[in-house]
Amino acid sequence: MHKPELKQYEKPKHINDYPCGPAALAGTLVAKNAGWRTKRPIIHKEKCAGCYLCYLYCPEGTIFKEDKKINFDYDFCKGCGICSKVCAHKAIEMIKEGENGN
């Protein structure tokens, strides 16, 4: 449930510096994948029971453990809201992108 460390990706300057097809040293993150999210989940940690049901249901694997509670990898969370729906403790709230200073 812990996020792996990522290697720094530097966009190649010349076409010959690109790998042959989409392949790179393990642990390299070329692209973040959350550009189309309109809503984001936020965790109310005081309500989170640490059951990790949301972790099991997240179709993108973007939930991780933090201090016995959960948190989100916003680089990949697409904002589907499944985590919020399955949370029995109403600990996850979906808010519009841009609201609450986000």
Partner 1 sequence: MGTSKVFVSGNEAAAIGVKLARAHVISAYPITPQTVVVERLSEMVEAGELKAEFIHVESEHSAMSAAMGASAVGARAFTATSSQGLLYMAECLHYASGGRFPIVMMNANRSLALPWSIYGDQRDSLSLLDSGWLQVYVEDAQESLDMMIQAYAIAEHKEVLTPVMVNLDGFVLTHTYELVEVPRQEDVDEFLPPFDTENKLDFENPKNMCFSSSPSDNMEFKYQQHKAALKASEVIKKVDQSYREKFGRGYGGLVDGYRCDDAEIILITLGSITGTCRVVVDELRSQGKKVGVLKIRFMRPFPEKEILDITRGAKVIGVLEKDISFGYEGTVYTNVNSALIKSGRIIKSYNFIAGLGGRDISREDIKYMYEYLEQAASGAEKECVKFINLGVDTDGE
User: What is the Cα–Cα distance from 56 to 11, expressed in whole angstroms?
Assistant: 34
Element (H, E) at 55: helix 53-57
* Least distance in angstroms from the C-beta of 3 to partner 1: 15
User: What is the Cα–Cα distance from 92 to 85, expressed in whole angstroms?
Assistant: 8
Which span (23-31, 48-56, 65-73, 77-85) binds partner 1, by CB under 8 A? 23-31
**Interface map 34-73 toward partner 1 (x if CB under 8 A):** -x--------------------------------------
Hey, is 39 helix, strand or coil? strand
Member of 1, 3, 19, 56 binding partner 1 (CB under 8 A) = 19
